[in-house]
Structure 1
């Protein structure tokens, strides 16, 4: 299963599953601003200041817990749907410095990928990261190049006529790259395993295994 994550949709899988972004920080941003405004009016190091500071800290902790709980639930849902999970190899810290930094930090894509990796390991599923370059500019069916701007949300291939949601197509490209990566590793392992069957290739025993001597063994003296 290929998983594409973004701001328009929190995640889109290669199977066509779409999940909307929850935006936990945005929903509680008004309440957080009100608490921080009250905190700024308190005298520092006073008892009222410490009480208000704890209220702000508790709200931050509540937002973080809701986000982490959502991430774990989505990670388990991905493991329920498939045995192989592939995601893009991206550095989200660089993207968070742009104009959509607050939205990216609210989604916490890096934390979500780490949680998915952990849940896959815990449940015995396979997880891998693939190259993210050009996943949105190729057709998952024919492999042809289909250039699209960010405003275009539908993938419509002029080469083969395949049409689907843009994010679903990205997830399918991620899945195809992951399967290709696994098949390449599998072919290498198969060639190595079958090397002993080829003619002219001898079986080399390790040093720990004693090799039989050539010739007759001496008879013990009486």
Structure 2
């Protein structure tokens, strides 16, 4: 089973846009009410019996069960009989708002932190149609339940053999988009190690250094436009909250943030394709991204978005038949790639690697990328005994590395 997500621009009419905005608001209210219900139930169980608060306390009967997804879904059916605004919204769209909250709570239990927050006005920006009886895309139109047909910009065709399972409607500052979740009953084999290996070291002075000696500059996506963002935020502060001018400045701020995101994402995709053009195997460090997002360099680390780049690189590598793996990042800048000696801890200002044992001299980031490549080759060598040959699958049928590309195509920019 293979799932893909393609995003297209849609152009709803004025009535359809007003209807979808109302749906977003109703989903936001359902989400916030369900979150408040769960939060009140949890707070009512936190107070010790002999130490209640003097001012106020959450009091919910002890026999009241926890309001999980199924209980809140049953309560939603009763609420639709009393609140006419909820009847206008597709039933499965409202249920998805409860599913989204339930996933947030389960994700919090896995991580141990990150309690879900209430959504302010305008922060709930998407809703989902979870299933369709037939293909909603007909030509250059898409038909959504209870909303109707509207033009869609199919800038790339839907691959043959795939059917539309879900549609997520997203509202951005640049307009409305439809994310089509496509599904096909096919299996694509994992990419096996082959070709030229390249190690990657990510950094701030240079966005990326490869084991072949190539250095890629780091664009300052957010930092270069930070002054414009501050100027718009100062203008917003002087406007009356809720006025027409206030909403106009808000729209400009959202549009600027979206522009920064789009430019960064485009750079990540182009860099990933450039690496795949020159390699058959790519190895990168398995970074602790939570630690890099703290400290005095947190803004620059978040601006570089290493985690997003590694996810994109993994997807592009799989799509183009390039083997990708992550290695242990500990000590990559303290190990000599020539002789393997430990050179000691380096300060951030020390940008040249010099080994006292063998005399090897190289740029610090390039030397670290060479160590990453060596560790990746060790992982490949250790796993050769359990992996299948490149030419055959588990049934002995010859396979090619171009299998995924033949199905999905190889667009470089429209991803």
Residue in structure 2 matched with residue 36 of structure 1 by the alignment: 233
Alignment of 1:187-198 (within 5 A): 187-189=385-387
More helix by share: 1
Correspondence for 1:69: 266
Matched, 1:167 2:365: yes
Q: Shift of the alpha carbon at 1:124? A: 1.0
Q: How many residues align?
A: 190
Q: Secondary structure, in 3 states, of the residue corresponding to 1:141?
A: coil
Query: Given the alignment of the two structures, is residue 150 of structure 1 paired with residue 348 of structure 2, yes or no?
Result: yes
Q: In the alignment, what sits opposite 1:79? A: 276
1:177 to 359, 363, 375: 375
Mapped partners of 1:5, 1:33: distance in 2: 29
The residue aligned with 2:288 is: 91
SS across alignment from 1:136? coil
For the residues of structure 2 that align with 1:188 and 1:116, how far apart are their CA atoms? Answer: 25
Deviant stretches of 4+, over 6 Å: none
Larger proportion of strand: 2
RMSD: 1.1
Q: What do residues 115-152 of structure 1 show as CA deviations (whole Å, max 9, x unaligned)?
A: 10010011111110000011110000110111122221
> Is 1:51–2:242 an aligned residue pair?
no
* Structure 2: runs of 5 or more not aligned: 1-197, 389-415
Q: For residues 62-96 of structure 1, what are the alpha-carbon distances to aligned partners after superposition, in whole Å with 9 as ceiling and x for unaligned?
A: 01100110000100011011010010011212211
- Structure with max Cα Rg: 1
The Cα of 1:189 is off from its aligned counterpart by: 5.0
Q: How many Å separate the matches in 2 of 1:189 and 1:65?
A: 38
Bigger shift: residues 9-18 or 150-159: 150-159
Structure 2 match to 1:11: 208
Q: Deviations over 1:171-214 (max 9, x none)?
A: 00000000000001114559xxxxxxxxxxxxxxxxxxxxxxxx
Which has the higher relative contact order, 1 or 2, with Cα contacts under 8 A spaced 6 or more apart? 1
- Residue in 1 that maps onto 2:323: 126
1:117 aligned to which of 274, 299, 314: 314
- Deviation of 1:8 after TM superposition, in Å, equals 1.3
Residues 1:137 and 2:334 are matched in the alignment: yes
Corresponding residue of 1:206: none
Q: TM-score, normalised by structure 2?
A: 0.45
SS at match of 1:164: strand
After superposing the two structures, state which structure 1 stretch, 148-157 or 161-170, moved more.
148-157
CA distance in 2, matches of 1:33, 1:189: 53
SS at the partner of 1:177? helix
